[in-house]
Amino acid sequence: MRFHKTNLSLEQYKSGLNAGDRLILSKAITLCESQLPEDELLASLLIEETLGQSEHSFRIGITGIPGVGKSTFIEAFGLYLIQQGHKVAVLSVDPTSSLNHGSILGDKTRMNELSLNRNAYIRPSPAGKQLGGIAEKTRENILLCEAAGFNVILIETVGVGQSETAVKHLSDFMILLMISGAGDELQGIKRGLMELADMVLINKSDGNNLKASKQTKTLIKQALHYFPANTNQWEIPVETISSIDQTGIDNVWKLIERYQKITKANHYFESNRNKQNLKWFQEGLSNQILRLFLKDPTLQAQKAEIESAIVQETLSVKSGIQQLMQSFKK
């Protein structure tokens, strides 16, 4: 027996989000993540209704290598923010297997106390085929969480790599988590990685590891002196914290509040979000054009023939692209 999914009406979604109903929020996110054609129109209308509700929100990207303690930090930081009167949403992107497309989606078990708090919302999403490990619909999910009253959005990336670039275009502030003695001190000094971070935190700075963490902090601070000043007039802080002992967590938020004050005063905050919205439009447009391109039966058949020729090395990749584009232009 087949059961048919029934969506709520647009008004039901709107009223549920305005009331901060977490169940409605989950259903709204599921709607927007759906790839069914019948869901796309309603999802677009719903996203349109969320515009203008992000003025008082703040989006924080959090990244670091596996094992650095991202989930432990997010739980400690999230609980601290809630104690300060904030409502916190965590959008955590889990890696998806390239073999069977399965995903772990275990963040709620790793943030048990935070997930049970009525002022928190955790939504794990599979990264899917999106480059860099950021779920394709993460931008829409952010808007929906903000519409539901969550004013601090924490976006956890899969790990260190190209995902940093993606999350940078989603967030207002980016935290790079590191640990001493794991070989990532040199990784952190790499120019591209450090330029993306707005704050570097040396996690697990407790017990016997405290001395090594302080040495790592000194090393990173020295490396940052070789970088040019940021256009947003922000000097990247490097701090030691312990998510387990919850030491240094309050200072993290104080520094972020200082960042907000500086970047809103010099208008960087607003211009950065405007640039992000334009990039969202450009990426979305490119994705839609590609989908339309691949839906054409004639082009699909030709594409299969070209792929076969490329595999057999009877046609170059460049020539294959040119042939397909010529057919598309006709």
Q: Which residues pair with 173 in a beta bridge?
A: 60
Q: Tell me how far the alpha carbon of residue 200 is from its chain's centroid.
A: 17
Whether pLDDT at 14 is above 80: yes
189 pLDDT higher than 70:
no
Of 23 and 64, which is predicted with more confidence?
A: 23
Q: How far apart are CA 153 and CA 58, in angstroms?
A: 6
Burial class of residue 11, CB neighbours in 10 A (0-12, 13-18, 19+): exposed
Name the residue among 134, 158, 133 with its Cα closest to residue 65.
158
Residue 240 is predicted with a pLDDT of 95
CB 70 within 8 A of CB 64: yes
Out of 1.20.58, 3.30.420, 1.10.357, 1.20.5, the CATH code matching 1-50 is 1.20.5
Distance CA 231, CA 229 (A): 6
For residue 228, what is the DSSP state? Answer: P
Tell me the CATH architecture of domain 54-266: 3-Layer(aba) Sandwich (3.40)
Q: pLDDT grade, residue 97 (50/70/90)?
A: very low
DSSP string, 266-286: TTHHHHHHHHHHHHHHHHHHH
Task: Write out the H or E segment, with its range, that includes residue 309.
Answer: helix 297-311
Residue 248 φ/ψ region, left for φ over 0, alpha for ψ in the -120 to 50 degree band, beta for the rest: left
Question: Strands 152-156, 238-240: parallel, antiparallel or unpaired by DSSP?
Answer: unpaired
Over pLDDT 90: what percentage of the chain?
49
Within 8 A by CB and 6+ apart from 101, the residues are 126, 128
Domain boundaries, the chain: 1-50, 54-266, 279-329
User: What is the overall mean pLDDT for the chain?
Assistant: 84
pLDDT band at 190 (very low <50, low <70, confident <90, very high): low
Beta bridge partners, 93, equal 125
**Predicted confidence (pLDDT) at residue 13 exceeds the cutoff of 90:** yes
| Token couple for 16 | 């549920």
Amino acid in the structure at residue 220: I
Q: What are phi and psi of 138, to 5 degrees?
A: -60, -40
- Which residue would you say has higher pLDDT here, 174 or 124? 174
